[in-house]
Amino acid sequence: MFALRTTGVKPEAANPLSSGIHSRGYLPHVKREGARCFITFRLADSLPQAVLLKYQAERAQRLQLLYARKDSAKRPGKETSQTVLLDEIERDYFRKLETFLDKGCGECLLKRPDIAGLVAAAFKFFDGQRYRLDAWVVMPNHAHLVLWPMPNHTLSAIVQSLKRYTAREVNKLLKRTGEAFWQPEAFDHWIRNDEEHTGCCRYVTNNPVKARLCAKVEDWQWSNAWRGARK
């Protein structure tokens, strides 16, 4: 069954949180049940609200124009063209976010070893149970995951569980209540093929080097590439 789901065969009564296009807030999210996923969590103060709204509005406008033309796409090859355009929109949105995030804005609570360690441990805890974790990194103000949900576990449920648990435990460490830890919306992208999967994993492990936090990927402790993880 899991193998069938990864090919894009739609099961009966498919869960809209598992596949298709659904909305979280006013932004559409594309899901493919059983697919590998690239996920970004951002701290609540990592992006000024004005900056985030600007990027989201630009993305939403481009997506609305794309979907408005969808009904007229009846010619062979048109669907493929729209998929390419959707990928381009998602990449542009992500690049803008990442460029800003790598500036290290906000309090950067994930710099604290106790908090980074807590978040990393949570990511790894359900590896092999709820999902297969292929790559992960905890940066000063955001985190990335590349994972493959196991059967009967939706990406939405996995993301919400990770955010809820880590936010609660971090707030205990900080002795605070009622304060947001993560941004309400995580960035997620379903990975279409092995080449894209390899690129996403490479991006995740190389993020600390790109952000000039270390010289080599194996030097960053809060990543699956850390040399200490192999000891």
Question: Domain spans of the chain?
Answer: 35-230
Backbone angles phi, psi at 17, to 5 degrees: -80, -10
What confidence tens digit (pLDDT) does each residue in 146-179 have?
999 999 999 999 999 999 999 999 999 999 988 8
CATH of domain 35-230: 3.30.70.1290
- C-alpha 17/C-alpha 32 separation (Å) is 9
The SS3 of residue 73 is coil
Q: Which amino acid is at 104?
A: G
Q: Which amino acid is at 203?
A: Y
What confidence tens digit (pLDDT) does each residue in 85-127 have?
888 888 888 889 888 998 888 999 999 999 999 999 999 999 9
Q: Residue 188: what pLDDT? A: 85
Q: Residue 174: what pLDDT? A: 95
Split at pLDDT 50, 70, 90, the class of 19 is very low
Residue 102: which of 224, 210, 219 has the closest Cα?
210
Split at pLDDT 50, 70, 90, the class of 76 is low
The SS3 of residue 127 is strand
